[in-house]
Amino acid sequence: MSEHKDFLRTIVEEDLKAGKYQKVITRFPPEPNGFPHIGHAKSIAINFGIARDYKGHCNLRMDDTNPTTEDTKYVEALKDAVEWLGFEWDGEVRYTSDYFDKLYEWAKELIKMNKAYVDSLDEETMREYRGTVTEPGKRSEYAQRSVQENLDLLERMKNGEFKDGEHVLRAKIDMAAANMKMRDPLLYRIRHAHHYRAGDKWAIYPMYDFGHCLSDYIEGVTHSICTLEFENNRDIYNWVIDTLGLEPPRPYQHEFARLGINYTVMSKRKLLELVEGNYVNGWDDPRLPTIAGLRRRGYTPESILNFCESIGIAKANSTVDVAQLEFCIRDDLNTKVPRVMSVLDPLKVTIENYEGSEEFDAPYYPEDIPKEGSRKVPFSKEIYIEREDFCENPPEGYYRLTPTQSVRLRHGYIITCKEVIKDAQGKVIEIIAEYNPDSKSGSDTSGIKVKSAIQWVDVATAKEVEIRLYDRLYKNEAPQTLEDLNPDSLKVIKNALIEPAVITDKPDVRFQFERQGYFYADPIDSTDAHPVFNKIVGLKDSWGKKEKVKAPRAERKSSEKKVQIDGEVEPMSDEQQKLFDKYTSELQLNSMVADILARDEKLSTFYAEVLALNNSAVTIANLVANEVARELKEANKLQFKASDVAQLVQMLDEGTISNKIAKEVFEEMAKSGEKPSDIVTSKGLVQISDPAAIEPIIDDIIAKNPENVEKFKAGNNKLLGFFVGQVLKATGGKANPQVVNELVAQKLK
RNA sequence: UGGGGUAUCGCCAAGCGGUAAGGCCUCGGUUUUUGGUACCGAUAUUCGGGGGUUCGAAUCCCUCUACCCCAUCCA
């Protein structure tokens, strides 16, 4: 585990420490109505990861409460994804549909408590009754039905006596709730549909808000982790569990931001559109961010897990740069896979001074990768090189073959261009070259220095392969529509060439094609007779990048600060205005503090109370406007009285305590309600202002931090805070910060 | 617009009153028979804006702004 815990792990740890739960139980609760994507991988990594880190367990539960969209094939895909990522769920796979009986009992319970009712409004009316975000809704007249009638109706709904939509079961909460989700949410709806697991037993199905929390409870889940869009549903989650009076321990819901990645889409709807509209070739199209797609592309589980860990968990909506994902797969494959040579766009090279043939012994891994293994690479007079690796009129900095620049054939000899043969259109079709017999790789005595080594294949023995080059699915960073699709996201090269060992020896399924990228033998289409390789990701290419940069030279980030227009501040009432005037003129408060006090009745009243006991108007005002305001905001009820604050201010005025200590005392006082003077005495918080007592401490700290002293003397003024902080820490916060400040500044001069 | 959230580098993200972590990207340099890898180095005087409190504020207080979610019988 990394040293910085994310906020979820922090919560889990606190709960464990507080003894709230004996064991952490999480769950991954997908609805089996679509293929899992990398966003699910994040959720899987979080839920299973937390369970693993805290020695708990994680369930896999299909949240299958909507029979019209769900299917077994998705269940399989989901199970498969979890397994592929290397996680093991606790026991059997769980299904919300297995809890239908229990859920139904609880629904009746709610009716008996008069907390749920059968409503018979039609859909449209129900929507009208719900009100809007600014206007309260109104309760359905059916809410007055008797318990008996509700029970009876629900029973008959279950038995299939009514048509879809005729009735629903709703919770009786509050039609005027500011949280729209709490305006009598639906608990059950009628659906005469075949459920892929429950069959035709049920004519009613629970809604998410009813089924999910209770399923968590049934499974003993402790931390129910979901994405941000469920924040509003948390109130119902708690309402259902609380209202039913379920015995603790009970689960609590926590939300995190879902994963977004640029140049792709993640929503089920958009993914479905791509698949069904044949914009891609099925759910496992390697361009898709689905687990199946990533997997078929050649991504490893480790790389995806590393990715999930690297992006962190937080609550801010964010879009991760796809470069981060690409880094993770390169990073993983770099140390794992063999290097081989392939040529995608061949240019023939005839080495006129070479006769016969030979085989080079070439290691599969470069020297910096601690892995063994090698293969034979056949070589003869005629070879192919990559068309890009020859240039007749090279730009500056071009390292490869030119009419005047020799290159090394990787694992082989150094060649030099002798003649360039072109067709009628002027296209280069062949290079006539010469090799240096003394330059053989590994036993080079030629003394020739070349700028680079290029990959190649032998014409006579090279194998033909199909290569599928994948690029980002969309051309826009934040794609909206199908128009944003990248027309070049797939390029198929039917007859690329590859060295024979890849096909005959099959040392692996993933390879680095040197200087090109990582490739994966397509698990479905690749055969011995017709090998197919998917490009997983390209190598980093600092040359290609440089070339590109030459073109667009326009955008420079505009450094001008954007001006922000402030909205209107609400005007004060006459009463408030009067108070404000008194504060600023009579009591000499600054206008900001006066404004805060004048506008808040609780604060101004409290202020007046303290002022009656102590006349340090400004000090009290500052304290009330800042510290007391916070307490009021957090707790709503104050643990202390005006007299306590007056006493605190007096100690401050007398110099018994510093501002820093005052804050500490205040916090304690707000928590325990103890008298400030008692807190000061019991904790020994009297401030130290005597320089003679402070100086030795400062000397000690200066002696211990010679580097920071240097930096400070070099002009890093921020370090003053560091030294003052250290001294304060050493004295338990008791040193008078003002004295310390002066002393430190003096000593470091 | 009522409610619920969120704002720290180009992209993620730590930080919880005392020197603005880290990763990706980018840019230099070293090593290199992959323009790869590895390694070194650079890159936020500033934390959405403005005020206030404090010796000291990304962190506390006030206020404004922007973005996301909620008015499916979806989850």
ipTM of the modeled complex: 0.97
Q: Which residue has the tokens 């009716």?
A: A111
Number of Cβ atoms within 10 Å of the Cβ of A149: 14
* DSSP code for A272: H
Using DSSP's 3-state secondary structure scheme, residue A684 falls into: coil
Is residue A250 among the annotated active site residues?
no
CATH number of the domain at A377, please. Answer: 2.40.240.10
Share the mean pLDDT of chain A.
Answer: 95
Tell me, in Å, how far CA of A619 is from C1' of B51? 18
Q: Which of A13, A31, A430, A667 does the annotation list as catalytic?
A: A31
Nearest to A43 by CA among A237, A257, A219, A253: A257
Lowest-confidence segment of A59-68, A616-625, A635-644, A712-721 by average pLDDT: A712-721
DSSP codes, A39-103? HHHHHHHHHHHHHHHTT-EEEEEE----TTT--HHHHHHHHHHHHHTT---SSSPEEGGGGHHHH
Q: Please name the nucleotide lying closest to A63, CA to C1'.
A: B75
Identify whether residues A363 and A456 lie together within a single domain: yes
pLDDT at site A3: 65
Domain contains A472: no
Provide the positions of strand B that have an atom within 7 A of a protein CB. Answer: 1-8, 10-27, 33-38, 46, 48-49, 51-57, 60-65, 67-75
Domain contains A543: no
Domain count, chain A: 5
Report pLDDT digits (tens) over A655-712: 999 999 999 999 999 999 999 999 999 988 999 999 999 999 999 999 988 888 888 8
Identify whether residues A11 and A125 lie together within a single domain: no
Residue span of the structural domain in which A714 resides: 691-747
Lowest-confidence segment of A154-158, A451-455, A552-556, A629-633 by average pLDDT: A552-556
Domain contains A166: yes
Tell me, in Å, how far CA of A312 is from C1' of B14? 10
Identify whether residues A21 and A112 lie together within a single domain: no
pLDDT at site A204: 98
Identify whether residues A31 and A86 lie together within a single domain: yes
Tell me, in Å, how far CA of A1 is from C1' of B58? 26
Is residue A749 among the annotated active site residues?
no
Q: Is the pLDDT of residue A551 over 60?
A: no
Domain contains A608: yes
Q: Is the pLDDT of residue A557 over 80?
A: no
Q: Which residue has the tokens 């009067």?
A: A578
Identify whether residues A621 and A672 lie together within a single domain: yes
- What is the side-by-side strand order in the sheet with A57-62? A25-28, A57-62, A94-95
Using DSSP's 3-state secondary structure scheme, residue A400 falls into: coil
Q: Please name the nucleotide lying closest to A256, CA to C1'.
A: B5
Domain contains A37: yes
Q: Which residue is nearest to nucleotide B12 (CA to C1')?
A: A311
Domain contains A42: yes
Identify whether residues A58 and A147 lie together within a single domain: no
Partners of A273 in beta bridges: none
Is residue A31 among the annotated active site residues?
yes
Question: What is the band of A1 on the pLDDT scale with cuts at 50, 70, 90?
Answer: very low
Q: Please name the nucleotide lying closest to A234, CA to C1'.
A: B4
Tell me how far apart the alpha carbons of residues A107 and A204 are, in angstroms, rounded to a whole number: 12
More confident of the two residues A716 and A83: A83
Nearest to A45 by CA among A23, A61, A31, A26: A26
Domain contains A648: yes
Nearest to A670 by CA among A696, A640, A630, A700: A640
Identify whether residues A604 and A703 lie together within a single domain: no
DSSP codes, A457-504? EETTTPEEEEEEEE--SBSSSS--SGGGB-TTSEEEEEEEEE-THHHH
Q: Is the pLDDT of residue A89 over 90?
A: yes
CATH number of the domain at A723, please. Answer: 1.10.10.410
Q: Which of A20, A79, A268, A336 does the annotation list as catalytic?
A: A268
Number of Cβ atoms within 10 Å of the Cβ of A611: 19
- Global pTM reads 0.95
Report pLDDT digits (tens) over A282-334: 999 999 999 999 999 999 999 999 999 999 999 999 999 999 999 999 999 99
DSSP codes, A137-152? ----GGGG--HHHHHH
